């Protein structure tokens, strides 16, 4: 009996050492016995007994055959003794542009042209509240304006914040051609280097998130693993400190959410949906004076896909109810688009 107790004690010690090393992991009896090289039936029983004891002590939880560590650590949030007022990230949103296209040479020499443009705006500036660590999602149909939104977001904010653009479809020549058309701001510092980082990235975006930057990810390609988007966004957000992340995702035409469904929306503070010539505000968690949720904006894309123009409030057509068809023919109220312009004061 004393010998059995000795054997159990030795096995229990090995189990406790293993558990200390593998905190945060899930496992089953086979995994721990294999890694501890305890193949004999008697030793496996001792391992099972020790694991059961940990479950009784509320140090482990067992579901079916798998165990996980119970984490009783808490992180209190100190909201009441902040120094100074609450922090906001005063980002600038994309707006309508115009002017005559310039070139990279004119940007280097003159600091950009066409600053005014048509000056039409989405109704976000001064209304949508963005805080440090916030996630902004832009979900859009392929080739309908996601990259346009991301690049204009970068252009508007690169002088005010450190910015990082991560992309899986950017290539030096194509990007340079696009920059030639985006001549309303100079993307280069006085020493000739860019004001932002441009990084090619296809996976594991969280590993290179800049905690205090405006991080723009255009776009996250999930393939068939669309269910992972929630975990991916959670990992990105965990790396943020004073910075934010704008994440571009694909969506199917006619769908209200990106591939991945509500998992793409759950952790977002701001969620936009782009369809052909139309941006819908699906979710804004915090706003200043006017609730923008549900607002719809029409827009045109100009100058080789580099500029928004004619941004305006629109609403669903009351005649055809967004179908574009009325009594078997094209709706004359909306000219088949399903939407009509809305006065600015209309909600």
Please provide the DSSP assignment of 288-308 as one string: SSS--TT-EEEEEEETTTTEE
Mutual orientation of helices 41-56 and 2-21 as an angle, nearest 10°? 60
Strand segments, DSSP code E, in 29-82 are 60-63, 66-69
Interval 211-223: pLDDT, tens = 999 999 998 887 7
**100 pLDDT tier (thresholds 50, 70, 90):** very low
CA distance 202 to 137: 17
Which DSSP helix (H) or strand (E) runs through 196?
strand 196-200
pLDDT class of 130 with cuts at 50, 70, 90: very high
Domain borders along the chain are 2-69, 104-314, 317-347
Global pTM value: 0.80
Q: Does 3.40.50.800 match the CATH number of domain 104-314?
A: no
Give residue 344's pLDDT.
Answer: 65
- Residue 3, classed as helix, strand or coil, is helix
- Is the pLDDT at 164 greater than 90, yes or no? yes
Which residues are within 8 A (CB) of 231 and not within 5 positions of it... i.e. 6 or more apart? Answer: none
CA dihedral 224, 66, 71, 48 (to 10 degrees): -160
Average per-residue pLDDT for the chain: 88
Is pLDDT at 341 greater than 90 in this prediction? yes
The answer to whether residue 73 scores a pLDDT higher than 90 is: no
The CATH code that applies to domain 2-69 is 1.10.10.10
Predicted pLDDT at 176: 92
What confidence score (pLDDT) does residue 105 get?
Answer: 42
Quote the tokens at residue 47: 């391992």
Determine whether 306 is exposed, middle or buried from the number of CB atoms within 10 Å of its CB (0-12, 13-18, 19+): buried
């Amino acid at each position: 009996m004393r010998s059995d107790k000795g054997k159990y004690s030795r096995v229990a010690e090995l189990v406790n050492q293993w558990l200390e090393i593998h905190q945060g992991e899930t496992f089953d009896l086979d995994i721990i016995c294999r890694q501890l090289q305890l193949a004999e039936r008697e030793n496996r029983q001792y391992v099972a007994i020790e694991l059961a004891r940990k479950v009784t002590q509320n140090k482990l939880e067992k579901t079916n055959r798998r165990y996980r560590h119970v984490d009783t650590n808490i992180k209190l949030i100190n909201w009441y003794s902040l120094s100074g007022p609450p922090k906001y990230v005063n980002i600038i949103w994309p707006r309508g542009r115009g002017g005559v296209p310039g070139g990279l040479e004119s940007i280097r020499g003159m600091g950009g042209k066409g600053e005014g443009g048509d000056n039409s705006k989405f109704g976000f500036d001064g209304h949508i509240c963005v805080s440090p660590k916030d996630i902004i999602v832009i979900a859009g149909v392929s080739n309908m304006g996601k990259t346009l939104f991301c690049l204009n977001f970068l252009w508007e904010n690169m002088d005010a914040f450190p910015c990082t653009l991560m992309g899986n479809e950017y290539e030096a020549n194509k990007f340079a051609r696009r920059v030639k058309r985006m001549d309303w701001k100079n993307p280069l510092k006085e020493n000739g280097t860019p004001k932002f980082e441009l990084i090619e990235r296809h996976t594991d975006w969280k590993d290179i998130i800049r905690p205090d930057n405006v991080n723009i990810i255009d776009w996250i390609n999930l393939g068939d693993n669309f269910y992972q988007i929630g975990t991916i966004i959670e990992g990105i957000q965990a790396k943020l400190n004073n910075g934010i992340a704008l994440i571009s995702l694909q969506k199917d035409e006619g769908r209200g959410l990106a591939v991945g469904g509500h998992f793409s929306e759950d952790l977002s503070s701001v969620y936009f949906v782009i369809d052909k010539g139309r941006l819908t505000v699906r979710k804004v968690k915090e706003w200043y004076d006017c609730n923008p949720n549900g607002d719809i904006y029409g827009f045109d894309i100009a100058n080789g896909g580099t500029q928004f123009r004619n941004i305006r409030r629109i609403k669903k057509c009351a005649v055809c109810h967004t179908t574009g068809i009325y009594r078997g023919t094209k709706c004359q109220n909306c000219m088949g688009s399903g939407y009509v312009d809305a006065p600015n004061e209309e909600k």
